[in-house]
Structure 1
């Protein structure tokens, strides 16, 4: 009996070490695909000079990247579940690197659309969905924290590359920069993906208070109204956050604080730097909290936090220091959707089809990307003020917080117990 106990404890220790290794590899894979989205703004001016086109036409490239990253995610998740994470995620990282290498030699708008937008979107989508699916399987008792960590890796990975890419563009030009970093992304992501392993199979999936004994395939999950409630809630939060964050520069300029110096730095770039930090920090932070107090309770706290921060942000918008600090709190209350919703989904519908199931839910982020920015711009143009924009965003936050605590929580408890 003692020998069996020692063997069992040793197996548990090995498995525990493996899951942290898998998390680290997932972070590297996420970091290797973050720059196409977050560093695009540095590439717009060089591409405008090369292609001699207007900015709206060039920005279609970025839209294509987001569309193919989000709206193909159900198919990408299904392929990952079918052929295995290591192989597909490896292909995804190579696609992402190849999109930059191909874009280096793009001298027409259509080739840039296809290479940077379509190929890059497919690559980043495969890796994002695949890595989230991996970690929620490896961390059944810490899903919120694990999903938040890799989501933070995607959100904050570009912090490491932004300055080097900026310096490289000024010294070596667009072609060399895209080639060098494209090769680097493919190499980093490809090597990290080689170490990915399938999580041990489990007979049940641990959540905060209950175990799910059934693993739903996507076709079964899509028939459940509970899934569509989650989809609606995530779409609301995505739309709310992007309504305000996408208009940050315009908002700062209109209220007259964008170029005011705070601690020797203009308020707008300082706010953007703080926002990127808090947007990354909130994902593992609130994910960790949700592992302890429950998903819906954490949603209520986080979404009300964003609503309150937005209200104060609008009220004190003419104060440069408060503008910076409150913008950071707004992002702190928004970015956690990328840890709370995948963890809640897997808790509810099981881990066996985690990648393909999250692919369907992740489409709600695409809905928010399409609605958020244009909706805010239309409201601002119609009203010539920011109060209607913030009011709608705050209303969506409060609605989603109430749905989480009053509808989702009891509904999900009944669903799991049944």
Structure 2
């Protein structure tokens, strides 16, 4: 029996879903490099901080009096004579993360109809185009243009780009959902690992060539054009399986695992279920706990251990001279680098493990182990054990990344795969919420403690206990997730209509060699294209992390 595909797909528009239905001989292992090409670019969202300090001195290069500490935010948006403050620039990241959640929620349904090629192309133009608009804003010194380009328009590219590969890979790897989503979302974690050092190199290069410029607008231009090209390459590499396709010999393991649904829930009904909101809280609480630490990882290590980081135990940070503080800051930068490596590795490791353990048990491990490690972190700090303290947070950050990578597979298990991209998009509003709540809670508790004269370990101890509480609540929410009742699933006619989109429904699973094949020579080049930047990023990051072990 054969899988029927769209009639005359060559006549379909270039970006249409009908044009990219896989034909006989397509190897499903070509899908992950396309997904990684998107996520390795949009992951630079976490590396945007590399631009803020140079931009805060953009006019001071030629006019030392450009600092205007008393200007309002409204004045900062339109000034052409005052340097921007870092606090004004950081808002770009907040806008981007909020818009990520909103755009993923709004455009998820459109993605399922339009297909990953069209969605990937839109994401490329928005994300890369946002950098180009941001470059214009830097060049004319207009902060509102940077907010518009890198925040609003770039945020739309973030949202669409984030969910596009996830939806596609889950359909290609129903037998390895966790591994598939782990591969793509690992790329998002690696985006900053590659983009931050690359941006730093470009900024220094352009500044050296033109000392009157801080080198940021030139860097944004180069990276924006590069991101458009790289993401479009990924978008045109996408293929979707024919409706009803599955790997040869594979069937949904519903008989062995009641948590894996055999049907599909419609997008319009998913958010009406109790399970959706429990999973929303599961993601929000896991992310809030992890992102709060990421936001203050460097100052936390410096303020807790102080001189001990450079071989002077018992000397608080405030008592060190400028040179010693620079040494402490270098060690803290290594700590941040190490956390980023575990964040990335955890995305693939934990998501892959969830294929064996199940999503619910995997999240239970995140919450129980994470809460225990947060609660034990002050104890490790009191012992003066830097190694133990660092190890605790490396494991915590691996589970933070693992939570991002496991949640799409969890959604596919509960709601089916037909609308998983759109449902995942709506769930990402939890990330937007956590991106505000997590850092705010950590910063506020730290500020209260600092105002009370608290120093060292105690400055962060209460924060650790609060974050442990977040994870305990998350554990309860995860415990409440149950299989959906049969009434929520679409009937065969509805599924057939949803799967149509211009192609016939398959009459049998797996055939004509569609999706078959492992790592053959034909797929080496696309894998090398995405693997080489990742390896370079790992090399650079590990070089920074080595400082911790000297």
Same fold flag (TM > 0.5) = yes
> 3, 22, 25: which is aligned to 2:31?
22
Q: In structure 2, do the counterparts of structure 1 residues 149 and 48 end up closer, same or farther at CA, with 3 Å as the change threshold?
A: same
* Long gaps (5+) in structure 1: 6-13
Q: What's the TM-score, normalizing by structure 2? A: 0.69
Contact 1:244 1:390 in 2 (8 A): no
Equivalent residue, structure 2, for 1:9: none
Say which of 90, 114, 133 aligns to 1:59: 90
Q: How does 1:117-132 map to 2 (within 5 A)?
A: 117-132=151-166
- Name the counterpart of 2:369: 305
Q: 1:166 to 1:299 in 2, by over 3 A?
A: same
How far 1:253 sits from its partner (Å)?
Answer: 2.7
Q: How does 1:201-240 map to 2 (within 5 A)?
A: 201-202=243-244, 206=252, 209-210=257-258, 212-240=261-289
Q: CA deviation at 1:267?
A: 2.6
User: Hey, what does 1:344 align to over in structure 2?
Assistant: 410
Match of 1:10 in 2: none
Shift of 1:347: 1.1
Which aligned runs of 4 or more in structure 1 are off by greater than 4 angstroms? Answer: 14-17, 413-418
Q: Give CA deviations for 1:137-185 in whole Å, capped at 9, x if unaligned.
A: 1111211111111111010133223222211101111122111111111
Asked if the contact 2:377–2:392 (Cα under 8 Å) also holds between the matched residues in 1, the reply is yes
Q: Deviations over 1:75-105 (max 9, x none)?
A: 1212211211111111101211111112112
- Alignment partner of 1:381 is 2:430: no
Equivalent residue in structure 1 for 2:337, among 253, 273, 278: 273
Q: Residue 100 in 1 paired to residue 168 in 2? A: no
Separation in 2, partners of 1:347, 1:200? 20
Q: Secondary structure at the match of 1:215?
A: coil
Q: Counterpart of 2:389 in 1: which secondary structure?
A: helix
**Per-residue deviation, residues 221-268 of structure 1 (Å, max 9, x unmatched):** 111111111111111111121222222123123213488249x98331
Task: Confirm whether residue 329 of structure 1 aligns to residue 395 of structure 2.
Answer: yes
1:286 and 2:350 correspond: yes
- Residue 174, structure 1, aligned to residue 220, structure 2: no
Residues in 2 aligned to 1:162 and 1:94: alpha-carbon distance in whole angstroms: 21
Q: Secondary structure at the match of 2:480?
A: helix
The question of whether the paired residues in 2 share the 8 Å contact of 1:348 and 1:416 is answered with no
Distance in 1, matches of 2:99 and 2:36, equals: 22
Which structure has more RCO (C-alpha within 8 Å, separation ≥ 6)?
2
Q: In the aligned structure 2, how far is the partner of 1:258 from the partner of 1:198?
A: 56
Secondary structure of the residue aligned to 1:199 is: coil
| Match in the other structure for 1:8 | none
Structure with greater helix percent? 1
Find the residue that maps to 2:414 and give its secondary structure. helix
TM-score of the superposition, structure 1-length normalised? 0.89
User: Could you list the runs of 5+ residues in structure 2 that have no partner in the other structure?
Assistant: 3-22, 59-81, 207-214, 312-326, 451-458, 490-550
The 5-angstrom pairing of residues 151-162 of structure 1 reads: 151-162=185-196
Q: Which residue of 1 aligns with 2:303?
A: 254
C-alpha separation in 1, matches of 2:446 and 2:199: 34
Is the contact between residue 137 and residue 354 of structure 1 (CA under 8 Å) also seen in structure 2? no
Q: Is the 8 A contact 1:271 1:325 kept in 2?
A: no
The yes-or-no answer on 1:407 pairing with 2:480 is yes
Note if 1:41 corresponds to 2:34.
no
| Aligned mate of 1:396, from 460, 470, 477 | 470
Deviation digits for residues 270-303 of structure 1, max 9, x if unmatched? 1111111110111111111111121111111222
Q: What secondary structure does 1:71 align onto?
A: helix
Q: Is the CA contact 1:257–1:320 (under 8 Å) kept in the aligned structure 2?
A: no
Farther-moved stretch of structure 1 (115-124 vs 71-80): 71-80
Preserved contact between residue 279 and residue 477 of structure 2 (Cα < 8 Å) = no
Residue 26 of structure 1, CA deviation: 0.5
- CA 1:161–1:414 in structure 2 vs 1: closer, same or farther (change >3 Å)? same
Cα-to-partner distance string for 1:357-391 (whole Å, 9 max, x where unaligned): 11111111111111111111222233443222111
What count of residue pairs does the alignment treat as equivalent? 403
Please tell me whether residue 111 in structure 1 is matched to residue 184 in structure 2: no
Q: Is the 8 A contact 1:270 1:324 kept in 2?
A: no
For 1:76, which of 98, 107, 111 is the aligned residue?
A: 107
Would the aligned equivalents of 1:81 and 1:353 in 2 still touch at CA under 8 Å?
yes
